[in-house]
Amino acid sequence: MRVPILTYHAVNIAGNDYATNDHVAFAADLHLINDLGLRIVPVHWVVDQLLGAANRDLARCVAITCDDGSDFDYFDLDHPSHGPQRSLFNCMADFIAERGAQAQPDLHLTSFVIASPQAREHLDRNCLVGRSWMSERWWRPALESGRMAIENHSWDHNHAAIALPGIDGMQRGIFHEVDNRERADAEIAVATHYIDAVIAPQRTTLFCYPYSHVNDYLRLEYFPLVENVHGMRAAFGAGAAPLMTNSDRWNLPRYICGWHWKSPEQLRAILDERF
């Protein structure tokens, strides 16, 4: 198994071309992946395979994810500086309309969302434009579309832009600070319970580390030892490698748009080299 996992941030909108706008890159990349003869599959299929819970044919497959969970994932929105933005969800709908449902029958996007409503409110005001674009009202319809999964990106990202004290006195802006049981339960298990309540009867089973900050406490102790508490089956970092059978279940690698690739040529190089 060699499955590259690609990651986008729908809030990355600094212009309207590939390098400055993850919506533009995402739409272009769906076609590029398709034209390279690769199949897009749900990331939970890849985790099933890794854990021996399924045995699907994942040859020449790619999975796609997006982080931070703003309304830009699902709704078309009019950005105050850069105009109308097609949501990632609707970019997939456009792809299907153009190429036919059979081109990518398993097309699917996993969105890692921030659980805390208060944290989302702060981020909406401080990082977006204060129009309630960090809502949870799209989580359920996204799931019900069968094209998206909603997964766990922590309680509050321990985000630097949140004007509330960090849990257990944690310094904001660093997820490495989540280094004991109290902090881990507050950031991870509580997020699981909150998101699960919103999307019931579905539930979250995948985590991705805020800021791609992976520490040994979470990777070697918390995640493997108290699965019954946090409910997660795997956790994603930013290893910039394809996911393989021997990948670390609690630090699975992903490639991040705008970091590991900034142009279609660079993505093509990543994908060519991986198969």
Residues at the site binding Zn ion, with contacts judged by CB under 5 A: 67-68, 210
Least Å from the CB of residue 228 to Zn ion: 26
Question: With respect to Zn ion, which residue has the nearer C-beta, 67 or 136?
Answer: 67
The answer to whether the peptide bond before residue 201 is cis (omega within 30 degrees of 0) is yes
- Residues 180 and 182: their CA atoms lie apart, in Å, by 6
Least Å from the CB of residue 42 to Zn ion: 20
Could you tell me which residues are beta bridge partners of residue 2?
Answer: 244
Least Å from the CB of residue 157 to Zn ion: 6
Question: With respect to Zn ion, which residue has the nearer C-beta, 233 or 254?
Answer: 254
3-state secondary structure string across the chain: CEECEEEECCCCECCCCCCCEHHHHHHHHHHHHHHCCCEECCHHHHHHHHCCCCCCCCCCEEEEEEEECCHHHCCCEEECCCEEECCHHHHHHHHHHHHCCCCCCCCCEEEEECCCHHHHHHHHHHCCCCCCCCCCCCHHHHHHCCCEEEEECCCCCCCCCCCCCCHHHCCCCCHHHCCCHHHHHHHHHHHHHHHHHHHCCCCCCEEECHHHCCCHHHHHHHHHHCHHHHCCCEEECCCCCCEECCCCCCCECCEEECCCECCHHHHHHHHHHHC
Least Å from the CB of residue 208 to Zn ion: 7
Least Å from the CB of residue 153 to Zn ion: 6
Question: With respect to Zn ion, which residue has the nearer C-beta, 127 or 241?
Answer: 127
Least Å from the CB of residue 239 to Zn ion: 16
Question: With respect to Zn ion, which residue has the nearer C-beta, 68 or 185?
Answer: 68
Least Å from the CB of residue 159 to Zn ion: 8
